[in-house]
Structure 1
Amino acid sequence: ALLKGCRCLEIDCWDGHNNEPIVYHGHTLTSKIPFRSVIHVIDKYAFAVRIDTYHMSSEASTKSVNMESMNHTLKIITCYDICSLPYGYCDIGNSYFILPQLRALKHKVLIKNKKVGTHDQSMLRMEEDYRGEAEEVSDSDAQSDDDDDREDESPHRSRSPSKRRGDYRSSPLPHKRSKLRKTKVALALSDLVVYTKSQKFVSFEYSQQHQQCYENNSIGESQARKLLKVSAKDFISHTTRFITRIYPKGSRMSSSNYNPQDFWNVGCQMVALNFQTSGIYMELQDGKFLDNGGCGYVLKPEFLRDRNTTFTPRNVGAYSKPMSLSIRLISGHQLPPSAMSKTNKADPTVQIEIYGVPEDQTRKRSSVVKSNALSPKWNETFSFNIQVPELAMIRFCVEDEVSLVNKEFLGQYTLPVLSLNTG
């Protein structure tokens, strides 16, 4: 994942023997790896391809003594700077806190975790010996993502007939009554958290009133999909203010993936996928971040950064900048042979797919060239009208038509529409 340019990894930490934390997917049969070994690998590869900021998300279900060990391991193994002070920080008591530009954090590692107290209190503790100390932080134990999976994913909504693109209206989602849960966090690990403090997501309204710019939310895939349906405008307003991470639902036992495009459309900065599972959704991920030199970061369109935006994926309104795209499919060369064909010669066909806002999503297929994988020729032209090219992705998928209902994947290439060269 790191060699492919991934800039954020989640590390699920649990108690191990002799106060040495281990990493594995909790309550499953996955292999258990020493935390120290994981950090050695990250230290070797985090900046091997790109020098841009690397985010390390720590999910620590461990005792405070193991958190202390995690802090010690991070400091003695990583040869890169862990960002433990606000950029330009010079005055304790200065409540004016701003986020730095990304280039100011090159070669920096940002730790995402729960945090005890304020940044000022962390600064004061640096002069003290607080080894082994921990404090409790309160967390609202709201509904889990697995609970969301069991609920109806189609909440009641009414559709206005006057809206051509389907502007859905409904009341906000009800929240289950939360119970107070307290977690102990080692001060040593807490003080490494600066710009990426974990903050439980309650509601968009709560975040707007109480959340700080350095507090980040993680929202489960199922809950996020419901929020998309009933309050896309509020979702976009939220992501203009706070870093928002979407993660796969717990029922994906086979490490399958979901469509990340839905959440890119509302400005989510981190859409977490299972990199070990190949397929169309990882291909979209790889194509999305080909842009900007493949550094792992791309700038969101202006209408997803403007706090006063009225854009929603289903009602693009004045933000539509229609683009007419014409693709001429000429020929192919040395396609791989078919493993399913009796003659071992592919009957290639190409499907061109557009991903983006719902109005832009479409696909078109070429004719089939019989028994010619060496140099198939099509000479066909396909036309697409794209309303929001800033969010659109194009995917070329080559398949062997084994039968009318069975096609074998031969290869693909995905990239942002605006990265296409003319000619």
Structure 2
Amino acid sequence: MCFTMPKSLSRATAESPPTRRHTFNAHGTQALSSLKRALNIGLFIAPTVIHFPGDGGKSDIYLSAAIQRSLRQLFSDLRQDESTLPRRLFQSFLVEVQGERPDRVSMTLTDDTYTFQRFLEVWWKGFGLEIEKPMSLDQKDLTKPISNYFIDSSHNTYLAGNQLSGKASVETYKRVLLQGCRCVEIDVWDNTTAPSPDKSVAGSAKDVPRSEHSQRFSTNTLHTAAAHVKAAVDDRIDRTRQFLGVEKVHSLTPRCSKFDVSGLSLDRGIGLPLGFPDGDDRANVEQPSGGWKPVLPLDEPIVMHGWTFNQPIGFRQVCKAIREVGFETTHLPIIISLEVHALAEQQEKMVQIMKEEWAGLLIEKPHEACPNSQMPRLEELLDKILVKVKKASLSTENSMTMGSLVPKGAAVEDDNASMSDDGRPVKRPPPKVPICENLSNLAVYTHSEHFVNHESFTLKSPSHIFSISEKKILDLWESKRDELFAHNRHFFMRAYPKASRVNSSNPDPSQFWRRGVQMVAMNWQKWDEGMMLNKAMFSGEHGWVLKPPGFRSDDHELCVQRDALSYRTFDLTITVLAGQHIPLPEGMPRHKAHSLRPLVKCELHIEKGEERSRGIVEGGVRLRPVDWKKQTGSGRSDHPEFTGHRELSFKGIHRVEESLSFVRFRVEHEQSRIYLKDTFAAWACIRLDRLATGYRVIPLLDLGGIETTGILFVKVQKNYRL
């Protein structure tokens, strides 16, 4: 193994001409200063390549000088007084510190002694230093009924940006599916962009005389018109901007002060924001002077956000996108959560489109081995699409008037109705319409049911799904926690964000998972704390995570009372040793990387005592609460070594279900050497049961949830108590 000097440093040294002392002038002094600065940056900060012999350079890695020093110190400590590392000490390290399986270790270690080079090669190539324990589809238990799994879910999937003015795009469906999401939401409306002569402007109510249509506008008409008003205004603004010669900056570049990185996700390789058409999608849009606008089929339903100013996309386009990428990364099933505002005629179009676009994938009838009286096992639904929608109404008396406006001030509560912060329904026109029979029949194992109150928990239909707002679920937990938890052991529940989250923020999803809620619909438009936890929950799990023991319908031997479930108490210590390629906070130029002063904040996301029905008591003594947040001292530059306060210790973590608990890291710039408006640089989040022990590498993600080249080198220790 050899350490190669960075190319930039090599060039600087080779190209520097010999300089005689007596000819030194101001230019020579400046050149020497530049060379010295290059040496300092290149030799002591920039990572150097490490070659493992015998593999043709396939395993070459770059490690910063700080990480290399930590590894050499570790090797020196392990070998004790020996010149090389004996196999028995190497084996003890891998088993006791790194947590590797003894049988695997004994099979891998074949040498009697190990030099530093050989030690690092065998450790790195044979076992790896990943912080997250690997998970493959072959390791997953797919034999349980589908209601026994947590499902990676999204809310208003069609939107990019905020909930009121964010653009709708088929690209958002592709992105979330490729990133592991398995439950996507589609809000479907009548297409009233160009009504035909024989239809009302609503375009879908049957058997209604045209004279009645001329006297009454449908809610869909007004809603769609709002989007067209916004489009017209946008077009006029853009025309005026072009006439005045003013460049439009804020739509495609971060130079605008209103640019929000949390609402964007860059296209792979081309750097276009989420929602901007690219590739084949540009063939489906036209470009008038006002910018990109979708060309929609005149007789097919559309997808858009109700009562806001975002422009629509075609329902068929969405279905095509889902088929294109839905099973590209996994074979596990997809649930389509339909919020239907289209009337009967275009509901029939929806059914036709779904059967055409998802032919061979769509679940249209119960599985042969699984009648309607029971839920299928996950393994029986591989490469399948399930539709979640309401059942057809028993009465169709009101079908003629569902499209009309209700009297001003009337309040309607629906599964996805907008709610105020105190849980009261917002007064607005009703979004619900009666569901036609053909569409209803597609809800084979996943049909929506309206939740009225806790008495609804007596509903025994295996396929029903309650969609309940985040606040209402928390209120139910306070008043009917046993009933709520018992229901969720057997049946589906979906939590969705409260309507006041117009900026696409998210709640903490773990508080709902701990209550047994299978689907926590997240606003993927914003990578905040909630989305960080969501990513950690489903990392490597292909969008479906088996619930822990006691949370499942087949756990007959365990008590239904959640507080009687067994938990473990343990201590956790994380020592942050070094890092490299730490991403720079927004606003810090690349040439100022040496001024970065990164510090690492660490936070535990576990169930607190107040979330349970009883306080945390052991042996009759109430335990002292744990400080859930710690932070290190600051390092230097984007290749830091943490030499000061670097040990983050959490002692006495009580009664923890590790599969529903998380540790989150935030890397921030300490405001000392250079002031920044935003100090947030990068983050990582790991589920506690997947958190590997020993010396590990933590990959860092940026503010858009994309993995960077940045890493932290840490040591993780867990000490379990009985």
Give the structure-2-normalised TM-score. Answer: 0.48
Give the CA deviation at 1:7: 0.3
Preserved CA contact (<8 Å) 2:667 2:682: yes
Match of 1:302, SS? coil
Map 1:165-184 to 2 at 5 A: 183-184=433-434
Map 1:336-351 to 2 at 5 A: 336-340=583-587, 343-344=592-593, 345-351=595-601
| 1:376 corresponds to | 641
Deviations 1:149-194 (A, max 9, x none): 25389xxxxxxxxxxxxxxxxxxxxx9xxxx999432222111110
Are 2:37 and 1:37 equivalent residues in the alignment? no
* Change in 2 beyond 3 A, CA 1:201/1:338: closer
Match of 1:231, SS? helix
Considering Cα pairs closer than 8 Å and 6+ residues apart, tell me whether 1 or 2 has the greater RCO: 2
Preserved CA contact (<8 Å) 2:189 2:304: yes
Are 2:663 and 1:414 equivalent residues in the alignment? no
**More deviation, 107-116/198-207:** 198-207
Are 2:596 and 1:327 equivalent residues in the alignment? no
Q: Which amino acid aligns with 2:352?
A: H
1:146, 1:105 → 2: CA distance?
Answer: 30
1:402, 1:295 → 2: CA distance?
Answer: 39
* Change in 2 beyond 3 A, CA 1:72/1:358: same
Root mean square deviation, CA, Å: 3.1
* Change in 2 beyond 3 A, CA 1:413/1:32: same
Preserved CA contact (<8 Å) 1:146 1:249: no
Match of 1:23 among 297, 303, 311: 303
* Change in 2 beyond 3 A, CA 1:272/1:143: closer
| 1:367 corresponds to | 633
2:460, 2:447 → 1: CA distance?
Answer: 11
| 2:391 corresponds to | 115
| 1:281 corresponds to | 530
Q: Which amino acid aligns with 1:372?
A: S
| 2:377 corresponds to | 101
| 2:330 corresponds to | 50
Give the CA deviation at 1:294: 2.6
Deviations 1:303-348 (A, max 9, x none): 222474222xxxx455221122222221111213344569552111
Match of 2:354 among 48, 61, 74: 74
Segments of 5+ residues of structure 2 without an aligned counterpart are: 1-175, 193-297, 403-410, 610-625, 695-722
Segments of 5+ residues of structure 1 without an aligned counterpart are: 119-133, 154-174
Q: Which amino acid aligns with 2:679?
A: E
| 1:299 corresponds to | 546
| 1:390 corresponds to | 659
| 1:62 corresponds to | 342
1:148, 1:52 → 2: CA distance?
Answer: 33
Give the CA deviation at 1:77: 1.3
Give the CA deviation at 1:276: 1.4
Preserved CA contact (<8 Å) 2:332 2:382: yes
| 1:158 corresponds to | none
Q: Radius of gyration: which is bigger?
A: 2
* Change in 2 beyond 3 A, CA 1:146/1:198: closer
Give the CA deviation at 1:57: 0.9
Q: Which has the higher strand share?
A: 1
| 2:668 corresponds to | 399
Give the CA deviation at 1:377: 2.3
Match of 2:606 among 350, 353, 356: 356
Preserved CA contact (<8 Å) 2:393 2:435: no
Preserved CA contact (<8 Å) 1:349 1:368: yes
Are 2:470 and 1:204 equivalent residues in the alignment? no
* Change in 2 beyond 3 A, CA 1:245/1:397: same
Are 2:186 and 1:11 equivalent residues in the alignment? yes
Aligned residues: 371
Are 2:498 and 1:227 equivalent residues in the alignment? no
| 1:260 corresponds to | 509
Preserved CA contact (<8 Å) 1:395 1:412: yes
Q: Which amino acid aligns with 1:347?
A: R
Are 2:561 and 1:310 equivalent residues in the alignment? yes
| 2:422 corresponds to | 151
* Change in 2 beyond 3 A, CA 1:302/1:186: same
Deviations 1:336-382 (A, max 9, x none): 3344569552111001111121147811111122x422232247322
| 2:177 corresponds to | 2
* Change in 2 beyond 3 A, CA 1:44/1:332: same
Give the CA deviation at 1:409: 1.3
Q: Which amino acid aligns with 1:297?
A: W
Match of 1:323, SS? strand
Q: Which has the higher helix share?
A: 2
| 2:87 corresponds to | none
Give the structure-1-normalised TM-score. Answer: 0.79
